[in-house]
Chain A
Amino acid sequence: MGDSVGDLLVLVIDLHPVWWADHSLTGVVQSSLVLSNAHLLQNPLNKLCVYGYMNTGVYKLYPTEEDLVAGESTAGKYEGFDVVNTTILMRLKDIMLECRDPEEHKQLDGSLLSGALIQALCHCNVMSKNLAIGNILNSRILVLKGSPDSRSQYMAIMNSIFAAQKNKVAIDSCVLGEDSTFLQQASEITGGTYMRVQDHGKLAQYMLGVFLMGVEFRKSFNTPPASKVDFRAACQCHSKMTDLGFVCSVCMSVYCGFRPICMTCNAHFKLPTALLKGKKVTGKRKLENGKS
């Protein structure tokens, strides 16, 4: 086993301007800074990275190339905190000033959660590759999410969840708005914790109480129970959740009833054998049962 190299915490914060128009961003940012500082305080080797995302882009708030140098030249740890806090706040201010165009921010959808997750995973990957041989960096991602899911990102988000699972990166989710099926699946599959916080005033307490400790310690504590995850598929034809569906053998599209041509890949299906020869099918099924 290698030496301890600390933990990496990647904070991913939803900055969708339309959603925050009805909520107080300041409190949430302050709670995030408390969590960031507490994380860095636990172990001098702990690392931090903060991303912000909205409907127009993904922004890295910390570390940026310039303040890496500044952080190294300051000797005291408290000054280190100061570097983190001021960098994040400065970057946030810049971003908020950039997005004042009301034309771009009309609707409450299209938050680029997929892009933020992918960049966060790239960061975790590069950080773990730069270690000396034998050292393992424990990484986890905490997503603070307000705006609703956008369905078009389903594939990108699922693929990043699987990449996180393979790289042993846990995805924690702290949802401030409506429940998110994307993040419920992400936390369930990667072994993170999913939590919905309705009282934003108590966010700092929740964050310190649940998300500050590493995933391996959570077994010894009473963390929020696993939420009921809906693993059912939505059908292509009506976008309804279905528990009994027909899956195209070519492109894996799900339909809630039989249809002759696939909507996605234009495959022509033959009629189900049950319609053609009812009795023979039952005989075959019995045979298969007998074998298995």
Chain B
Amino acid sequence: MDEEGDGYRWEGNYEKTWELIQETDGGLVDTTTTNAKREKRRLIQQRLSNVKLGVMRHVFLVLDQSVNMEDNDLKPSRFICLKRLSEQFILEFYDQNPISQIGVIVVKNGKGQKISELSSNINKHIANIKAQKACEGQFSLYNGLEIAFKTLSSMPSYASREIVIVAGSLTSVDPHPINDMLTQLAESNIRVSVIGLSAAVQIFSRVSAATGGTYNVMLDEQHLQELLRLQCAPPAATPTMEPSLVKMGFPPHVTEGPLSLCQCHVDDKSKAELTTHGFTCPTCASKYCEVPVECKICSLTLVCAPHLARSYHHLFPLAQFTETPTEELIDDSMVCGGCTKTFGNQKHVYRCETCNSYFCYTCDIFVHDMLHHCPGCESRPR
């Protein structure tokens, strides 16, 4: 019952889903009319525009590792499936928010355990999540939140602070009343979003409502993946977030020179290697193999210009194209402004309001998902 007005599933009419499937000229299944694709389009449309966003994010991913995660409604088991999806989530998250930081907490035996510190080291997070094996004991909402809260409350106020909980349990073993924790979270502007794996739980919906987050219950694996992906887009900024100028270093990439150790692997003797290439911090000249990273010596955030550019599409989203039935097109020989193919037997075309070019379904999705710029507008002199 996620869409308003749709009512419960059992109240709806019998759906003949097979009648929606059509064949293309080549004999492949024409997927443009299936519900899943329409759903995707709708998701894109929901994106906010003209809203101040919290692009620099600090996010704690809290994973339930209680016995309830051993259920096998997700294959092969909930936890193994979740491990795989969280890896995808972390990759997608850093792709969209490269200067943000993630930390990972697991909750088992009623205790929270921080398995990965708040940082931008993708490989470390993924390795740490992969290393988690057995599911034990009970889930504790309070303990999970408390650990995340302790770290997040000391984060700078210009960055958005978030907690994303994925919980398969319907119960929670808490040492203290959760209400105190809720007030603390709300006061520190920490946004808690919960994704449920089994059924809707009142306390989860209360936590997310009180902190301005979202609460969703997954339907199947694909839906869970989609819900996690929704968490990748930066949320709207809270009014208490103070804008600030953050000092950042843009380290030059050194490819030749004397052999030296990098700061990222210097502690780990097995991986420490003498190399000639790397990025050197502009203030203290210590070397790192990868950016973005926070300099260990002078605490300067080191980034590259492309990292900043990756966030631009959230700030300047492309306006939606208007759906028009193909019959209304005046000229039959009209071609798609993206792939320059004729529209053929497609039912709908999509028009950019700025340059009045028409686009086919595939290009419309591609343009809004990946390119974030209209091919028609960009191919015209300004």
Contact = CB atoms under 8 A, between A and B. Distances in A.
A285 B247 CA distance: 14
A64 to B, nearest CB: 8
B243 A123 contact: no
A118 B371 contact: yes
Q: Which of B53, B282, B306, B367 has the most CB of A within 10 A?
A: B306
A243 B379 contact: no
Interface in B317-346: 335-336, 338-342
B249 A243 contact: yes
B7 to A, nearest CB: 35
B338 A158 contact: no
Contact of B375 (A119, A167, A232, A244): A119
Interface in A206-247: 226, 228-234, 242-247
Contacts of B299: 285, 288-289
Interface size on A, as a range, is 35 or more
Interface of B: 26, 28, 52-53, 55-56, 95, 117, 119, 158-159, 237, 242-253, 255, 282-283, 294, 296, 299-300, 303-306, 308-313, 315-316, 335-336, 338-342, 360, 362-363, 366-367, 370-373, 375, 378-382
A248 B371 contact: no
B244 A270 contact: yes
B308 A254 contact: yes
Contacts of A242: 250
B342 A246 contact: no
Contacts of A84: none
A245 B282 CA distance: 10
A185 interface: yes
A122 B366 contact: yes
Given A110-B381, A112-B379, A258 B245 contact: yes
Contacts of B373: 114, 118, 155-156, 159-160
A8 interface: no
The secondary structure that dominates the B interface is loop
Nearest to B56: A249
Contacts of A185: 306
A232 B309 CA distance: 12
B378 A118 contact: yes
A122 B247 contact: no
Contacts of B159: 249
Interface of A: 53, 55-58, 60, 65, 110, 112, 114-116, 118-119, 121-123, 125-126, 129-130, 132, 152-156, 158-163, 166-167, 185, 189, 226, 228-234, 242-252, 254-255, 258-259, 262, 265, 267-270, 272, 285, 288-289, 291-292
Contact of B380 (A115, A122, A125, A265): A115
B253 A228 contact: yes
Nearest to B283: A244
12 contacts: A114-B378, A119-B375, A129-B362, A167-B370, A230-B252, A231-B305, A244-B248, A247-B247, A254-B305, A258-B245, A262-B243, A285-B299
A101 to B, nearest CB: 12
A126 B55 contact: no
A119 B373 CA distance: 11
Given A126-B339, A232-B250, A268-B243, A159 B379 contact: no
Contacts of B308: 233, 247, 252, 254
A51 B16 CA distance: 44
Contacts of B372: 159
B251 A243 contact: yes
A166 B248 CA distance: 26
A156 B376 CA distance: 12
A249 B375 contact: no
A53 B246 CA distance: 39
Most chain A beta carbons < 10 A, residue from B282, B296, B381:
B381
A158 B294 contact: no
A154 to B, nearest CB: 8
A249 B4 CA distance: 36
Contacts of B95: 166
A252 B312 contact: yes
A289 B381 contact: no
A139 B326 CA distance: 30
The 6 closest A-B pairs by CB, nearest first: A115-B379, A122-B338, A267-B243, A115-B378, A163-B370, A249-B158
Contacts of A243: 249-252, 282
A209 to B, nearest CB: 23
Tell me which of A58, A122, A288 has the highest count of chain B C-beta atoms within 10 A of its own C-beta: A122
A56 B381 contact: yes
Residue in A155, A226, A250 with the greatest tally of chain B CB atoms within 10 Å:
A250
B328 to A, nearest CB: 21
Nearest to A64: B340
Nearest to A291: B117
B253 A231 contact: yes
A251 B299 CA distance: 22
A125 B363 contact: yes
A254 B248 CA distance: 9
A252 B55 contact: yes
B370 A119 contact: no
B339 A289 contact: no
A166 B245 contact: no
A112 B242 contact: no
Given A185-B306, A232-B252, A246-B247, A60 B340 contact: yes
Nearest to B31: A129
